[in-house]
Structure 1
């Protein structure tokens, strides 16, 4: 990880859960971390908590449902920090509702955040890396086991569809980068099963409740560190992980 010290990482959905855990670990390893979310106040509090670490955390407000805000975020980072070296597309959401009875507008929001924003951020991050001829860059998409199998739960079927789309995006980016002249820009994906975060509680309108059965958010952050620590000629494509007790 020493080679990443002093370089700039963007983490979306950085206010809580997996995103906050990733910010903590990257800051500890000396990176300048741009944490973005709709609730930037929580990121500001985390920044204060991490003061004195090798790196630093800077909070940005950004609603990934709005492509103009994404463009503004990248433009501001370019002006203030030069550009992005590592892009962690962590933000994601889902709403309850089956394919037969779900709310189409909620589906549209899921697609905007889980698919379109991921593609948009990856595109802008890679453009930033190319424009500056960086010696090494990395995109990491935080996907889900639901991007590899459809759980027998109607409430998450559309969410699974969005995560299957992310899996396709990750492979598409890999192919496009590999088809170019030799590059040290890589793309990887992490696909967790159940994680101790609030995403399910939010979907069920139970704020503050954390998934009890699940791996810790830090386990996902450790997987991010593993990807970054591998040599640039090695392509880590997808890491699947779940609690030992999870059956599906």
Structure 2
């Protein structure tokens, strides 16, 4: 679990609620059904038009990565690959066949299966790099969904504020409604700017970071499997893969 992301999300909520209370605006100022409809629903509407359905579904699937990023501990993965290299040296590549059925990671399982099947090292590298690049491209496109939401939300917040000011202008003859109307107008701006800068844009950046780390992990897997296929010494494999951890 990424505890920093969880703390960050909680602090974002505390900043909004606490700031509103400390400034004397109160909790009621943070809620506006009109602002919610214009900014939040409007942002969702824009992103549905902006994004192809498969990319949007992928974005919903990977958003959990900000709290629970995929992959294993780097040290544990290196130790696992070194263990496989020892098995291969003692029993041959076919000795790794029982290991294949125990793996849950499709990428790792596919690479090890090709290794057991005796596929040439360069062919293994080529096929696995195609998978890596394709998955990375798909995941980055999904992360950019939240980046786009961070662009649309502030603009829709301004639109909401303009609508609120229009309503205020229609009630200039009634001073008792002016203060409430202006406050409601600015609530939409808060929705737009706060959702973009405290949630959508940080989520997009965190997902890109997680995706980058996942790609480096998969590159390490490729190098480790190629080294096993080429019969390298387990100590040399461990030293080579240690560079990916830094």
Which structure has more helix as a fraction of its residues?
2
Q: Which of 1 and 2 has greater Rg?
A: 2
TM-score range, shorter chain: under 0.3
Which protein has greater RCO, CA pairs closer than 8 Å, 6+ apart? 2
Per the normalisation by structure 2, the TM-score is: 0.25
Per the normalisation by structure 1, the TM-score is: 0.25
